Amino acid sequence: MTIESGDTAQDGSAASAAVTERSAETREAILTAAERLFAERGMSPVSNRQIGAAAGQANNSAVGYHFGSRTELVVAILRRHAAPIERRRAAMLAGLDTTSQLHDWIRCLVQPLTDHLADLGHPSWYARFLAQADIEPALRRVMVDNAAASPTMGQVVDGLCQLLPALPEHVHAERGAMSRQLIVHTCAERERALHEGGPTAHPTWQATATGLVDAIVGLWLTPVTPA
């Protein structure tokens, strides 16, 4: 039998604390292993067996037992990072006021992720994982749904709309998509360079965020060539 999605099984009263704790530990181990393997090799070529083995599980179907489907596994990885990122964004939003510039608002878009990546230390895999999930045709929908579910993200978008020049609806949508792509793939590229020991454009995640904010500000403020 598989566990119902979402939380660990503690329905009724039968589940003991020790058991659920052990389960939670292996869940974490599986999530960590899966995130690493996905980032390194991509999603599809990594089998559930390999993930389980990398997580120290001898059971063939350990992954299937704790997470029903592949999609739920990905969602669980996203959720594990979403919480701290949301917390950072909420804190940054609280520091804004009516005198804040466009830079400050866009920084709320970028820095929660880069700070989180910096906090993860070296090596990290989350940025590359995000890039993989962003491309995988079957997972894009999960990505955007997960992003849309973020309450702080909505606040940032609202704030941006008031500061930005009036733009046609389709240009607004286009540049939003571009901003997302820049953030995800630039972070992934830097993380990859860090992992391989190659050269990086910026010495720190903080500097990377600054470069990204500059670029995205320019992207939004550039004039629209009429069709």
Partner DNA sequence: CCTTGAATAAGACACCCGACTTAGCTGGTC
Partner DNA sequence: GACCAGCTAAGTCGGGTGTCTTATTCAAGG
Contact residues for DNA, defined by CB under 7 A: 1, 3, 8-9, 11, 14-20, 22-23, 25-26, 47-50, 56-62, 64-66
194: contact with its own copies by CB under 8 A: no
What is the nearest approach in angstroms of its own copies to the Cβ of residue 115?
16
Minimal distance, residue 198 CB to DNA, in Å: 28
Of residues 99 through 138, those in contact with its own copies by CB under 8 A are 103, 128, 131-132, 135-137
Q: Where does this chain touch its own copies (CB under 8 A) — which range of 22-30, 51-59, 149-157, 181-189? A: 181-189
The length of the chain, given as a count of residues: 227
The dihedral of CA 178, 181, 217, 222: what is its sign? negative
The secondary structure of 38-72, three-state, reads HHHHCCCCCCHHHHHHHCCCCCCCHHHHHCCCHHH
| CA pair distance 136, 131, nearest whole angstrom | 9
Answer with the entry of DNA, its own copies, none that 84 interacts with (C-beta below 5 to 8 A by kind): none
Q: Which of 41, 87, 157, 158 binds its own copies (CB under 8 A)?
A: 41
Phi, psi of 22 (to 5 degrees): -60, -45
Separation CA 219–CA 213 (nearest Å)? 10
Q: How many residues bind its own copies (CB under 8 A)?
A: 45
Cα 160-108-96 angle, rounded to 5 deg: 75
The C-alpha atoms of residue 66 and residue 23 are separated, in whole angstroms, by 8
Stretch that binds its own copies, among 4-12, 42-50, 52-60, 108-116 (CB under 8 A): 42-50
Give contact residues for its own copies (rule: CB under 8 A): 40-45, 103, 128, 131-132, 135-137, 140, 170-171, 173-175, 177-178, 181-182, 185-186, 189, 192, 201-202, 207, 210-211, 213-215, 217-225, 227
